[in-house]
Amino acid sequence: MNIYSASLPIEETSIFDLSQIYGRQMLFIFLTIPLILIVLSMDAKIFEKYSTVFYILGIFSLLGLFAFGKTIKGQTNWYQFGGFGFQPSEFVKTATALVLAKLVSDTQINLKIFKHQVFALAVFGFPVFLILLQPDAGSAMIFLSLVFVLYREGLPSWYLWTGFIGIALFILALVIKPVILIGFVFVVMIIHFVLNARITRNPIVYALLFVVITATVLSVDYVYETVLEPHQKDRINVLIGEDVNMQKEGYNLNQSMIAIGSGSWFGKGYLEGTQTKGGFVPEQHTDYIFTTVGEEWGFVGAAVVIFLFVCLFLRIIYLAERQKTKFSRIYGYCVATYLFTHFFVNISMLIKLFPTIGVPLPFFSYGGSSLWAFTIMLYIFIKMDANKVNEW
């Protein structure tokens, strides 16, 4: 319904018109029915038994993009078949989740051991590397979110803290002078050392940590100016409030916030959104579909959508904890993590809480690849849950 509103031509046509975006999406929705039936008819053990095969096929599909892929807006992440496109990274997410669950569920794997940590991280690190070469930072970030699943299964917490602190330092170094930031870090570390004097603390560890943090802060400017692409720098500038041209690099976010804010409490009404009907929000049927929800259905409608997503996440986690096999539990957490990351990043970037990244909203954004991939991913877990009565 929202894709129909976001892509409605001047002359209204049937929602089944295949020449229009909403008509093709309706076709994609109908085709999920046989996909669901196929997944539910399969033996649940197949997904664990052939997880490595699925993963290898997925890796080859990513490698094939460099020879046969179509480049769209600077990214080579699609295969083109006539008027339809196929994005393999969406399906590789499921294959990666399956093989990660297979690896970590092995009784010989202990995520407290460094060698085993490397094996687990490499499972999704390799597809991340291939996806970054496309380049598609959004999809790569979704794969990296699997570190939360590993944390649930015993990965040391310092991995998460290192990531969070690194991101925080990068952002702070862009808005605060490096000397001031380094001085603040030094004071905090001194206070922490003094307050924990009764506990055996090695000053050498503090010194080495301070050196690493200092080097990180001082390298931010080089990374920002040399490594990042111009469009990536623009998106960060918009997020941190730098002086940007709201008619150019800041246009998408500006129009997105105007559309969502104009919906007020109850929205302007279905098919009545002025920003939506005027086509002011670019790519509104894909990454920016939630702006249609906000404008036409208002705060209440947007809150209902968010509530339904949260219910879905909590339900998947609840079912994952009820699984009788470690493989099924880990896969369930992978599904919840993928869906939540897509949801969180997509909505956050529309209200200036996260840099603009091309990440679709699950089951909402236009696209057959993402819809089918999410459907297959979710129903594999539903099949596993249905089969738990047969597990011992």
Strand partners, 70: 78
Structure token pair of residue 89: 């990274």
pLDDT at 271 (0 to 100): 86
The runs of H, that is alpha helices, within 75-113 are: 88-104
Answer whether 367's CB lies under 8 Å from 295's CB.
no
* CA 223/CA 43 separation, integer angstroms: 49
Residue with tokens 């769209």: 72
- Taking the model in full, what pTM does it have? 0.91
pLDDT at 46 (0 to 100): 95
Q: Does residue 187 sit within a domain?
A: no
Return the CA Rg of the chain.
23
111: helix, coil or strand?
A: coil
Q: Does residue 213 sit within a domain?
A: no
Q: Tens-of-pLDDT digits for all 392 residues of the chain?
A: 899 888 877 666 777 777 788 888 999 999 999 999 999 999 999 999 999 999 999 999 999 999 888 887 778 888 887 777 889 999 999 999 999 999 999 878 899 999 999 999 999 999 999 999 988 888 999 999 999 999 999 999 989 998 999 888 988 888 888 899 999 999 998 988 888 766 667 788 889 999 999 999 999 888 888 888 877 787 888 777 766 666 676 788 888 899 999 989 999 999 888 888 888 888 888 899 999 999 999 999 999 999 999 999 999 999 999 999 999 999 999 999 999 999 999 999 998 888 888 889 999 999 899 999 999 999 999 999 998 877 65
Strand partners, 72: 75
Rounded to 5°, angle at Cα 358 from 357 and 364: 120
Answer whether 259's CB lies under 8 Å from 280's CB.
yes
Which residue range is the domain that position 342 belongs to? 1-175+229-390
Q: Does residue 205 sit within a domain?
A: no
Q: Does residue 157 sit within a domain?
A: yes
Q: Which burial class, exposed, middle or buried, applies to 66 when counting CB atoms under 10 A from its CB (0-12, 13-18, 19+)?
A: exposed
Q: Does residue 307 sit within a domain?
A: yes
pLDDT at 74 (0 to 100): 77
In one letter, which amino acid is 376? I
Domain count, the chain: 1
* CA 210/CA 80 separation, integer angstroms: 50
The per-type count for the chain, helices as H runs and strands as E runs, is 17, 3
Q: Does residue 257 sit within a domain?
A: yes
| Other beta carbons less than 10 A from residue 304's beta carbon | 13
Answer whether 260's CB lies under 8 Å from 351's CB.
yes
Q: Does residue 26 sit within a domain?
A: yes
Q: Does residue 216 sit within a domain?
A: no
* CA 101/CA 95 separation, integer angstroms: 10
Answer whether 243's CB lies under 8 Å from 148's CB.
no
pLDDT at 392 (0 to 100): 58
Structural element, H or E, at residue 249: none
